[in-house]
Structure 1
Amino acid sequence: MTTFYFVRHGKTELNLSLRFQGGKIDSPLLPIGIEQAIQAGRYLCDTSFDAVAVSTQKRAMDTANYLLKENDYLDGLTVNYYDSLREIKFGKREGIEIDHTDEQTKNLRQRPDLYDPTAFGGETIDSLVKRSTETIEQISKKYPDGKVLIVAHGVLLITLINSLIGKEKSQWREGGPLANTSITILEKENDLQNYTLKTFNDVSYQSQNEEA
């Protein structure tokens, strides 16, 4: 059985300003985002990971670094970086303020099966889930009895997780958005197609200090 620990990156400047932060843009972690990552690391400090897979975007890489610095089992641990774990691409909307009344923004959040990013050159939900699922499947085959840390992004993780546990496409955003540095744990039995959800969007370890 492979056990996956999915962690969203820490809070960033663009998160705070409520702007689209997709696969073609980055923003520094806020002090609270760094602290969230450190707290997540302390929470998982006694978990011995067999592998770590991280998005190639800086906010995810920085989060992984702060998290892993707290871990007690780093000797010999290899961290691999994947373009396939980058956030969904928002095309011309990257970096602009989110308009919650926009039809496609509503679809992205509530009905991903209806989401059509053609007008602004964005990435489809199907593309996002396909590339991320292929990576997770490859890792599960390589570590059939391992514990694997995945550090990536909000839209990617919630759609990926819901897809892996067998939800319909219309429900792929259910339970989202995931909190920054939240931990979701899935288990994959070697002979089963779907994954089992063990822990979802866990931020129980976080202090209540939300100052940016």
Structure 2
Amino acid sequence: MTTFYFVRHGKTELNLSLRFQGGAIDSPLLPIGVEQAIQAGRNLCDLSFDAAYVSTQKRAMDTANYILKENNFLDGLTVHYQDSLREIRFGKREGAEIDHTDEQTNYLRQRPDLYDPKAFGGETIDALVQRSTETIEKISKEYPDGKVLIVAHGVLLITLINSLTGKEKSRWREGGPLANTSISILEKEQNTEYYTIKSFNDISYQTQNEEA
């Protein structure tokens, strides 16, 4: 059985200013984002991971570094950086202020089956889920009895998790958005099609308020 620990990156400047932060843009972790990552690391410090896979975007890589610095079992741990775990691309909307009255924005959040980013050159939900799922399936085969840390992004993780558990496309954003540095634990037996959620969007370990 493979056990995945999915963690969203810490809070960033663009998260705070409510702007699109997709796969083609980055912004630094806020001090609260660093603290969230450290606290997540302390929460996971006694887990011996067989591998860690991290998005190649700086906010995810920095979050992973803070998490792993707290871990008690780093000897021999290999960290892999994966372009396939980058956030969904928003095209011309990267860095733009989020318009909550926009139809496509609402589809992205509530009806991903209707989301069509063609007009602004964005990535489709299907492409996002396909590339991330292929990566997770490959890892699962490589570590059939392993514990694997995944550090990535909000839209990618919520759509991936819902897809892996067998939900229909219209429900791929269900339960979102994921909180910054939230931990979701999924398991998969090698002979089963879908994953089982053991913990979802957990931030119970956080001791510092996001508004701090």
How far apart are 1:208 and its partner, in Å? 3.4
1:48 aligns with 2:56: no
How far apart are 1:210 and its partner, in Å? 2.4
Q: In 2, Cα distance between the equivalents of 1:208 and 1:49?
A: 26
Partner of 1:77: 77
How far apart are 1:60 and its partner, in Å? 0.1
Q: In 1, Cα distance between the equivalents of 2:63 and 2:74?
A: 16
Q: Describe the SS at the equivalent of 2:160.
A: helix
Q: In 2, Cα distance between the equivalents of 1:208 and 1:72?
A: 23
1:87 aligns with 2:87: yes
Partner of 1:110: 110
What amino acid is aligned across from residue 171 of structure 1 in structure 2? R
Count of aligned residue pairs for this structure pair: 212
1:30 aligns with 2:51: no
Q: Describe the SS at the equivalent of 2:210.
A: coil
Q: In 2, Cα distance between the equivalents of 1:114 and 1:65?
A: 36
Runs of 4+ in structure 1 deviating by more than 6 angstroms, as ranges, are none
Once the two structures are superposed, residues 150-175 of structure 1 have per-residue CA deviations (whole angstroms, 9 ceiling, x without a partner) of 00000000000000000000000000
Q: In 2, Cα distance between the equivalents of 1:25 and 1:208?
A: 27
Q: Describe the SS at the equivalent of 1:204.
A: coil
Once the two structures are superposed, residues 79-119 of structure 1 have per-residue CA deviations (whole angstroms, 9 ceiling, x without a partner) of 00000000000000000000010000000000000000000
Q: In 2, Cα distance between the equivalents of 1:83 and 1:45?
A: 26
How far apart are 1:140 and its partner, in Å? 0.1
Partner of 2:60: 60
| Structure 2: gaps (5+ residues) | none
What amino acid is aligned across from residue 105 of structure 2 in structure 1? T
Cα RMSD (Å) of the superposition?
Answer: 0.6
1:123 aligns with 2:135: no
Q: In 1, Cα distance between the equivalents of 2:71 and 2:26?
A: 26
1:169 aligns with 2:185: no
How far apart are 1:209 and its partner, in Å? 2.9
Q: Describe the SS at the equivalent of 1:137.
A: helix
Please give the TM-score of this superposition, normalised by the length of structure 1. Answer: 0.99
Q: In 2, Cα distance between the equivalents of 1:178 and 1:210?
A: 14
Q: Describe the SS at the equivalent of 2:19.
A: coil
What amino acid is aligned across from residue 137 of structure 1 in structure 2? E
Please give the TM-score of this superposition, normalised by the length of structure 2. Answer: 0.99
